[in-house]
Structure 1
């Protein structure tokens, strides 16, 4: 009798030991159906990728979300909605989206942007934006005779800033008295840039400058050496931009190789 009792206890203990891991793999059992913990882990990973910390409170919300989804899913299955054409079409689109996302993630993982590539891109940016920066002001009008009339006012002692606020057609700089702030001359249209770099500090163009925007009166307020951000300050942005460029090139290459009839 004693041996039989011990055997029963051992058997029960062994069954419990076997059953525990199986139960531990589930987050809940809904209407008799186990809900695996992997579903919560997937949602948790999505939250972590977005940069949000997964707190105990958020974990509890994720658990409730997983359970609610199982409840709703069971009801949809009970109603036979899985067999509907609309469901099947949406599932196919979702499958494509996920698979394509995995393809792009796999490409980026296997083709990371290197420090050397980032440095080369930064050097190219520095070469294009280095040199001198110009602090300019301008008054923009539609007609040449308007521009010449303003030049006459300035020669008679008219204040550049006041005239810009009243008459300039450039709403941004006009409200600031014509101030365009610091910029590389290459950022302006060629006609404007060419006239600007010829000016001496504090001087105004003696003739109106015509561009696609109208007629400009330009004043050079100051000149300085370009102040570029250091590589370490912009490295994350450069890396992100280059990752996108590489991914776009990958997509373009795939399209070019594909035989489309």
Structure 2
């Protein structure tokens, strides 16, 4: 009996806690369980059966075989692939650090939500909605040039359809339709909500997407919101405020430097810059 028991221990030890191995890579019980957590909820009942887990494990093994093949071919060393792997790694780290920060410096207490809601009750009881059109340019100079044409009387809609790099709205003369606070990036919202009269045009506005010119085309009032209705957007707003402050600190700590002057000469891979000579000839 002791010999049988000892043999079982030795056999179990040989597996080294993994459920499968492809080359030198091992799929451990822990990693297998973590992979099962990633499946959609409707698929989980299938994994509660042994046959389901067997089929799922076979799928992971097949994926691992193809990954090993990719490594054998040196695909993981190709520059474009390394860039994508780095981007995925950074995205995972970003998600994890944000989750950790939400438990610490970015944590929003109930008292903060209540205080913000009370101070901004007028906004939530009668939240304004804006309707605007915009023209999005790739550079400040391009936006300034378009703005000058608007001031000279050229149709905003025409300039939007011809010049805006936001092709989804350009086809509609730049129309974005109605939106409330919290729907757009802060820089865009701030500029839009400063416009008072229908037809007013903003100066050039910089956001993470480029340089905008905004035209106010409509204004209305949305349905009132209770604190519970507004909770998510309040948390998002307060978290953004705290994050902005935190980033100012870490920009100094990590000695961040950004060369914005190089951007005018860096285009998206799909963008073909206009050749000045051809542009002049077309005129």
Q: TM-score, normalised by structure 1?
A: 0.48
Q: TM-score, normalised by structure 2?
A: 0.45
Identify the structure with the greater helix proportion.
1
Larger Rg: 1
